[in-house]
């Protein structure tokens, strides 16, 4: 509850929003869908800047990827035709499992990323595997693009998340810039993505979630980007596994051997929900399945997204 709230602002210009947020007093924060701010204990927040007047609720299919406005709700991601078809539908699938329908109708992409681990959402692990970038307006009025890896547990500095840009296979593929896979007139290279999760129940936060994105590389073989995380475990890229698999044809034996490496630089945390050993074991199983599914999709299989409810 916003028990200390004394001011509410709904600016229609970004510069005005940034200047309101830059004030030292009253203590002012951005307002997205308000699910965390109103549902949690937002003690000490004296003013909010509602971002709803800034026209940030959009999903645009661009020639080189997908652009998602910060005020887009998680339910919009579930229902939108572009997100349901983009990169095997993993953005729509992870938005859907991030929260219950009631929360998804209000919770925004920007609020979910800014809340970091508090959101307990599945979306960030998928955005990390897809190599997304986040456009942030700093309170000094300067815009910056941050790699998703810098935002996996919230924003590194105060600012307004404006947009998330997710590259398509042509730009995100490790071959981008090499054989010009996305050059005009050429079809996009084979690419697939998959998202897997394990939770205590379907609607419970994920104990472990894994996302894999597979692209072809110009010098032959495939490359995979693999991200894993879970509740209390901010998403990380499994860079050693990725390096081991680069250029291989991702057959099951090679994937199994690569997954014997450490998935993350530090082991996953242990808490009352699951031990570190359990999370790591489950992450390996999910990673293998996700890579296999992403490969199948890259080879032409079609994902089953179910309904958009
Ligand atoms: C009872 C309850 C249950 C919940 N269950 C779940 C759940 O199952 N799954 C889940 O994922 N989450 C859950 N949450 C947490 C919350 O719903 C999510 O974190 C949600 O995604 C937040 O999005 P929002 O748009 O509502 O953010 P808000 O509540 O508006 O804001 C959250 C934080 O982000 C900041 N912020 C908002 N937008 C921006 C922006 N564009 N740029 C910079 N900062 C911004 C705000 O200042 C605030 O600090 C739950 C919360 C409650 C109260």
pLDDT tens for residues 183-236? 445 555 678 999 999 999 988 999 999 999 999 888 788 999 999 999 999 999
190 Cβ contact partners less than 8 Å away, ≥ 6 residues apart: 169, 215, 216, 298, 299, 300
Q: How far, in Å, from the CA of 37 to the mean position of ligand 1?
A: 7
pLDDT score of 110 more than 90 = yes
pLDDT band for position 150 (cuts 50, 70, 90)? very high
Comparing 193 with 179, the larger pLDDT belongs to 193
**Measured from the CA of 71, which atom of ligand 1 is nearest?**
41
> According to the CATH classification, is domain 7-167 in 3.50.50.60?
no
Q: How far, in Å, from the CA of 36 to the mean position of ligand 1?
A: 4
pLDDT score of 180 more than 70 = no
Task: Kindly state the DSSP code that residue 54 receives in the 8-state scheme.
Answer: S
**Measured from the CA of 31, which atom of ligand 1 is nearest?**
30
119 Cβ contact partners less than 8 Å away, ≥ 6 residues apart: 36, 98, 107, 111, 112, 113
Task: Kindly state the DSSP code that residue 187 receives in the 8-state scheme.
Answer: P
Indicate the top mutation candidate among 18, 78, 119 to test ligand 1's pocket, ranked by most ligand atoms within 8 A of CB.
Answer: 119
pLDDT band for position 157 (cuts 50, 70, 90)? very high
Q: How far, in Å, from the CA of 40 to the mean position of ligand 1?
A: 9
Indicate the top mutation candidate among 46, 70, 107, 163 to test ligand 1's pocket, ranked by most ligand atoms within 8 A of CB.
Answer: 107
Extents of the domains making up the chain: 7-167, 189-298
What's the pTM? 0.92
Residue nearest to ligand 1 atom 7, measured at CA: 99
Per the CB < 8 A criterion, the answer to whether 134 and 245 are in contact is no
b/e map of 290-309 (b: 16 or more CB within 10 Å)?
Answer: bbbbbbbbbeeeebeeeeee
Residues in contact with ligand 1 (CB, 6 Å cut-off): 29-37, 39-40, 51, 70, 98-99, 103, 106-108, 110-112, 114-115, 118-121, 160-161, 205
For the domain 189-298, what is the CATH code? 3.30.390.50
Beta-bridge partner residues of 192:
214
The candidate with the shortest Cα–Cα distance to 166, out of 216, 122, 123, is 123
pLDDT at 183: 47
Indicate the top mutation candidate among 27, 29, 35 to test ligand 1's pocket, ranked by most ligand atoms within 8 A of CB.
Answer: 35
Could you tell me the strand order of the sheet in which 191-199 lies? 191-199, 206-216, 222-230, 233-237
Please give the Cα distance from 256 to 137 (Å, whole number). 42
* Tokens read off for 219: 């010098």
């Amino acid at each position: 509850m916003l028990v200390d709230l004394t001011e509410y602002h709904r600016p229609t210009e970004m510069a005005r929003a940034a200047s309101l947020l830059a004030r030292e007093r009253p203590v002012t924060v951005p307002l997205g869908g308000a699910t965390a701010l109103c549902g949690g204990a937002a003690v000490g927040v004296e003013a909010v800047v509602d971002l709803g007047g800034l026209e940030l609720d959009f999903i645009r299919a661009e020639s080189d990827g997908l652009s998602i406005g910060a005020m887009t709700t998680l339910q919009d991601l579930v229902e939108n035709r572009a997100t349901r078809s983009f990169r095997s539908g993993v953005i729509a699938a992870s938005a859907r499992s991030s929260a219950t329908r009631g929360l998804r109708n209000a919770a925004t992409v920007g609020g979910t990323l800014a809340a970091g681990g508090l959101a307990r959402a599945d979306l960030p692990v998928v955005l990390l595997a897809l190599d997304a970038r986040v456009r942030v307006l700093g309170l000094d009025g300067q815009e910056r693009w941050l790699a998703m890896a810098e935002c996996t547990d919230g924003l590194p500095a105060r600012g307004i998340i404006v947009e998330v840009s997710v590259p398509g296979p042509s730009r995100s593929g490790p071959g981008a810039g090499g054989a010009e896979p996305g050059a005009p007139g050429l079809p996009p290279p084979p690419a697939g993505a998959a998202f897997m999760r394990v939770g205590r129940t379907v609607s419970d936060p994920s104990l472990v979630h894994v996302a894999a994105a597979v692209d072809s590389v110009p010098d032959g073989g495939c490359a995979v980007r693999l991200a894993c995380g879970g509740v209390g475990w901010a998403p990380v890229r499994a860079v050693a596994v990725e390096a081991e698999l680069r250029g291989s044809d991702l057959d099951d034996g090679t994937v199994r051997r690569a997954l014997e490496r450490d998935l993350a630089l530090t082991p996953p945390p242990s808490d009352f929900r699951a031990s570190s050993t359990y999370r790591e074991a489950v992450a390996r199983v999910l990673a293998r399945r996700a890579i296999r599914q992403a490969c199948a999709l890259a080879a032409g299989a079609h994902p089953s997204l179910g309904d958009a409810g």
